[in-house]
Amino acid sequence: MPDVVAIGSANVDVIFRVARLVAPGETISAREVSQAPGGKSANQAVAAARMGAPTRFVGCLGDDGHGGLLRDALRDAGVDTSAVRISGAAPTGSAFICVDDDSENTIVLATGTNALLDVRDLDGVCFGRGDVVTLCGETPPAVVAEAARRGSDGGAIVILNGSPVEGFDAAVLPWVDVLVVNTGELRALANADASDGSIHDARERLGVDALIVTLGAAGVVCDAGTVVRLPGHAVDAVDTTGCGDAFLGALAAGLATGHDLRDAVGRANAAAALAATALGAQPSYPTASSVDELLA
Ligand code: RIB
């Protein structure tokens, strides 16, 4: 079976539960503080592994307790971590996350060792036909571009998450098969809205085979020549942190395990909804059987 290869960031998430998000100049108290493994690429790896795909993670962790916590979380989920580099030159990446009573969040990143990931870290990585490579904007742009090029040359399907927008470099697009964005990213990257025509035009301009726009609780739109809309699943949302990464990982797992794009998007839509039902990113990710149950 082809592998999912998630390349890029891993962070320890420090999560503050607050009644509402803090305003500029204001001090408020959190009800609860907790810590969980996160980081967009590591989240995608864990989500893909939970969905049953053989998964490898390529990243750089610090030689510290947080690095150990993240490696253990990846391994516990069944992710191959043999291409993870440990560096003493910076602390492991971290994210400070506030989650309010409406399950909205704000995230501030401290990139740490994620910024040390280098194109040389790709040298031992094998990209085979049918593998699915996932990439995101938390990873140095040179690594994203080189991983996309090597993945594409090896016959892999390359999926790019346009989040965060500040890390996006359009130069990578010729090697990208599937671009996944939310509506804010769609506006920022392609000056488009979520109407069928606008998404279709944006895909043609960006030159990718498929453009997928996640709509939060409202579901997802996918254009791969024709526009398909899938509604969201009604769930009791607790925390939407990492739902986009659950979508990416489940989409990659679906494609790696032989589903066509339409089915893989449907499974990813269900996985993202289930990921909203518990606090934190990785701890909330569903297994393939929970997704099957929701879709039954
Ligand atoms: O997408 C959610 C993730 O963004 C969090 O886990 C945090 O680490 C940041 O990378």
The structural domains of the chain, with segments of one domain joined by +, span 4-295
Can you tell me which atom of ligand 1 is nearest the CA of 38? 6
Residues 6+ apart with CB under 8 A from 247: 47, 180, 214, 220, 268, 269, 271, 272
Q: Token pair for residue 25?
A: 């100049």
- Interval between CA 285 and ligand 1 midpoint (Å): 13
Which CATH topology does 4-295 take? Answer: UDP-N-acetylmuramoyl-L-alanine:D-glutamate ligase (3.40.1190)
- Centre of ligand 1 from the C-alpha of residue 132, in Å: 21
Catalytic residue status for 245: yes
Edge-to-edge strand order for the sheet containing 32-38?
A: 32-38, 11-17, 94-99, 105-110
Contact partners, residue 35, CB within 8 Å, separation at least 6: 12, 13, 14, 15, 69
Mind listing the pLDDT tens digit of every residue in the chain (296 residues)? Answer: 899 999 999 999 999 999 999 999 999 999 999 999 999 999 999 999 999 999 999 999 999 999 999 999 999 999 999 999 999 999 999 999 999 998 888 999 999 999 999 999 999 999 999 999 999 999 999 999 999 999 999 999 999 999 999 878 899 999 999 999 999 999 999 999 999 999 999 999 999 999 999 999 999 999 999 999 999 999 999 999 999 999 999 999 999 999 999 999 999 999 999 999 999 999 999 999 999 999 99
For ligand 1, the distance from its centroid to the CA atom of residue 66, given in whole angstroms, is 15
CA angle (163, 186, 266) in 5-degree steps: 80
Pocket (CB within 6 angstroms of ligand 1) = 9, 11, 13, 38-40, 43, 95, 107, 138, 241-242, 244-245, 281
Q: Which pair of structure tokens corresponds to residue 281? A: 């990113």
Q: What is the pTM of this model?
A: 0.96
Q: What is the pLDDT of residue 104?
A: 86
CA distance 295 to 203: 28
Return the residue whose CA atom lies nearest to atom 6 of ligand 1: 38
d(C-alpha 193, C-alpha 276), whole Å:
24
Ligand 1 atom closest to Cα of residue 97 = 7
Choosing from 245, 260, 263, 292, the catalytic residue is: 245
Candidates 16, 35, 41, 43: which one to mutate for ligand 1, based on the most atoms within 8 Å of Cβ?
43
For ligand 1, atom 2, which residue shows the shortest CA distance?
Answer: 242
- pLDDT at 166 (0 to 100): 86
Residue 246 CA to ligand 1 centre (angstroms): 11
